[in-house]
Structure 1
Amino acid sequence: MFMLKQQKAKIIDEVTKSLSNAQLILLTDYKGMNVENITKLRDDLRKVDAEYKVMKNTLLKISLTNVGLSIDDLSGSLEGTTAILYTDKDPVMALKVLYNFIEENGNIPVVKSGFFERKFIDQAQAKEFSALPPKEVLLAQLVGQIQAPIYSLHAVLSGMLRKLVYVLDGIKDKKPN
């Protein structure tokens, strides 16, 4: 598709603005997907505040460079048909939605690589992140791990204090008034 320089510049500006605060940027190969599938995936991703856009590789390279990301690691990912998934909200939820869609639709789109919190990730790492529990669950587990030693210490100290009270009561009962 032929685009004027002004159209390309506008697309680059819009994508650069969207990617500047993104927690997750993931490149996929959408080959084999029809418009209906892409629309369904976009709708599912919007529910978790994520976007999915088909991009020209050259414009995507410029946009990624503009936000300060190294495209050296993406060499093989910026070939063929490319769509980009990005979110500035919860990256794990976006990955869960994507991988659920992939399982339901015969392994398409194919994940290439991307950036998770501005660090390069490959296809395997993206799959691992999708298996993580939601952020709230991870925070609850962390709080539980921090509280566990405190509760244990409290139980031990209160047990010792209880034993001391029993000993003192025993001594009091044995002593004549």
Structure 2
Amino acid sequence: MAITRQKKEEILAELVTKFKEAKSVVFAENKGLSVAEIQELRGNLREKNAEMKIAKKTLFKIAAKEAGYEAIPEGSMTGAAGAVFSYDDIVAGAKTIYDYAKEHDALALLGGLMDGKVMTNEEATTLATIPSKEELMAKLVYILKSPISGFHGVLNNTLGGFVRALDAIAKKG
């Protein structure tokens, strides 16, 4: 059944809004995931405040252009493609697709959009392998805490040595 022009315009308007609201968008090619696997993937994305929409590639290209992105190159989106919109963490959608694709050969990362620019497949893969915001914050806290912990240890050992020396003097005298 063909989609009416009015329905296509509604889908296009929704996609334009999503492209504008998202911090990053990655495209994924579905080469035969089952319905259950797609539902599982969508659930994983929802947990990270990201979502996947499936539409015709021409609608994605028009919506991206209307949202202010560079034109998506011809041939960059092949097969049945879906767009994954990340609303909070720019790496969340890409990382979820990348991790899921490692377990399921029927899914592939195609590229994406971020900051008004088109990302190649390699750039999207690089984005997916960047640690998440939470991981980076945890590493920063550890790095900031390390010198303080070391200084605390030095002071503790120095004071402990001083106390032991006083104790030895007290026992002698």
TM-score, normalised on structure 1?
0.72
Aligned ranges for residues 115-154 of structure 1 at < 5 Å? 115-139=113-137
The one-letter code sitting in structure 2 at the alignment partner of 1:42 is: R
The Cα RMSD (Å) is 2.4
Residues 23, 90 of structure 1: 8 Å contact kept: yes
Query: Is contact 2:50–2:92 with CA below 8 Å preserved after alignment?
Result: no
CA shift in 2, pair 1:136/1:117, >3 Å? farther
Matches within 5 A, 1:35-50: 35-50=35-50
Query: Contact between 1:22 and 1:117, CA under 8 Å: does it hold in 2?
Result: no
The correspondence of residues 58-73 of structure 1 with structure 2, limited to 5 A, is: 58-72=58-72
Task: Give the conservation status (yes or no) of the 8 Å contact 1:24–1:118.
Answer: no
Q: Secondary structure of the equivalent of 1:33?
A: coil
Question: What is the CA distance between 1:116 and its match in structure 2?
Answer: 2.9
> What is aligned with 2:103?
104
Distance (whole Å) between structure 2 residues aligned to residue 49 and residue 123 of structure 1: 22
What is the distance in 2 between the residues matched to 1:144 and 1:94? 26
- The equivalent residue for 1:16 is 16
Q: Distance in 1 between matches of 2:9 and 2:142?
A: 50
For these two proteins, the number of residue pairs brought into alignment is 149
Q: For the structure 1 residues 68 and 130, does the alpha-carbon distance in structure 2 shift closer, same or farther, using more than 3 Å as the test?
A: same
How far residue 7 of structure 1 moved from its aligned partner, in angstroms, is: 0.3
C-alpha spacing 1:136/1:44, structure 2 compared with 1 (3 Å)? closer
Distance verdict in 2 for CA 1:36–1:140, change over 3 Å: closer
Higher gyration radius (CA)? 1
Which letter does structure 1 place at the counterpart of 2:136? L
Matches of 2:145 and 2:36, distance apart in 1: 49
SS of the residue corresponding to residue 71 of structure 1 reads coil
Q: Secondary structure at the match of 2:88?
A: coil
Structure 2 residue runs of 5 or longer lacking an equivalent are: 152-173
Q: Equivalents in 2 of 1:103, 1:143: separation in Å?
A: 30
Mapped to 2, the partners of 1:113 and 1:38 lie a distance apart of 19
Distance 1:111 1:95 in 2: 8
TM-score by length of 2: 0.74
Q: 1:134-161, CA deviations, whole angstroms, 9 ceiling, x for partnerless residues?
A: 224435656787999xxxxxx9xxxxxx
State the distance in 2 between where 1:50 and 1:76 align. Answer: 25
Which residue of structure 2 aligns with residue 57 of structure 1? 57
Aligned residues of 1:50 and 1:94 also touching (Cα < 8 A): yes
